[in-house]
Amino acid sequence: MNSLIVSFKVRKTLFLFLLAIQLVACSGDKATSEASTSDTTSVLATESSIGEPDLETQPKLPLHPKRYGVRDGKLVYHYTGMQTGEEEVYFIHHGMTEVKFTETKRDNPFIGKEEPISMITLMRDSNLYVVDRSTYNAKKIDNTLLYTTAEQSPTLDLNEVAEKMYVEQGGKLIGIDTILGLPAKHWSIPKNQSEEWRWKGILLKMRVSMEKGYIQVKATSIDTTSEVPLKKFELPKQVNLTDGMSMEEWIEDLSKPLKRRQVFNKQGELVN
């Protein structure tokens, strides 16, 4: 939701959901959902704009947004097409805390050869951290937009918001397909030349068509029963962190051609 697929001109709106709701959630249970906290990780306790319901006639609203209808899990993805390689994803708190370890190669039309992508993408505490593992340069991105977006749903269900957006973009629910033994909703969004399959909001497969090819991401394994190590959600100590970018600004930056990307050194000086 995030995943550099957007670099090849996938719509910015869709990208936000692919990365931030990854992007998107399908929550089967829209009733009570208690978010947990620990000594090392926590979800931002945001105030909802929704007033207190009458508990005798309405279900209790969740204290926090949720992306997935599953509390914790681990997935492994395989990339094919213009981007090839593997990605490991770990999540807790119904997907509101999530980390991705991406090791792929991508066709770069500007340099005429493959470009390695080695990244850590951590979503935690209303922030998004994007780490280049080759340099350990990183950007801290304000991700509160995800929480305000959730307020479009009475139960703070980001999947509900996402599916509404798909329909508004002309997308259609094609049906239910089985992936890894799980019933996945198959969405087609012609406006974005994309298709995706999700189970309880968790991405199991996505294919984006582009002018010179395609990128496909497909889960090869999923585990929602084993304990997820909390140390996975810690940033490497050697990270050189640059602050001050909003989610909207980052999406705008990602939509630029690859040759215009900017990289900063430890002192914050532009190096390309």
State pLDDT tens for residues 201-237: 999 999 999 888 899 999 999 999 999 999 999 999 9
Let me know if residue 40 belongs to a domain: no
149 against 98, higher pLDDT: 98
- CA gap 145, 15 in Å, rounded: 13
Residue 271 lies in a domain: no
Range of the structural domain that residue 223 is part of: 5-30+63-162+202-260
The count of structural domains within the chain is 1
Question: Which is more confidently placed, 133 or 247?
Answer: 133
Read off the pLDDT of residues 75-118 as tens digits, 9 standing for 90 and up.
999 999 999 999 999 999 999 999 999 999 988 777 778 889 99
Q: Is 176 within the bounds of a domain? A: no
Cβ-proximal residues to 270 (8 Å cutoff; 6+ apart), any chain: 262, 263, 264
What pTM value is reported for the model?
0.72
Evaluate whether residue 87 is within a structural domain: yes
**Which CATH number does the domain housing residue 85 bear?**
2.50.20
Work out the average pLDDT over 162-178. 94
Q: Please indicate, yes or no, if residue 209 is contained in any of the structural domains.
A: yes
More confident position, 161 or 22? 161
Q: Which has the higher per-residue pLDDT, 272 or 181?
A: 181
| pLDDT(46) > 80 | no
Nearest to 143 by CA among 70, 65, 209: 65
- Rounded to whole angstroms, the Cα distance separating 196 from 217 reads 9
Contact 23, 17 (CB under 8 A): yes
Q: Considering the chain, what is the average pLDDT of its residues?
A: 75
Choose between 131 and 45: higher pLDDT: 131
Using a CB cutoff of 8 Å and minimum separation of 24, what contacts does 260-266 make? 263/132, 263/135, 263/137, 264/137, 264/240, 265/137, 265/240, 266/137, 266/240
Q: What is the pLDDT of residue 159?
A: 87
Whether 99 maps to a domain, the answer reads yes
How much is the pLDDT for 184? 98
Would residue 266 count as lying in a domain?
no
Q: Both tokens of residue 121?
A: 């993408």
| Close Cβ partners of 159 (under 8 Å, ≥ 6 residues apart) | 21, 24, 25, 26, 27, 67, 68, 69, 198, 201
In a domain, 38, yes or no: no
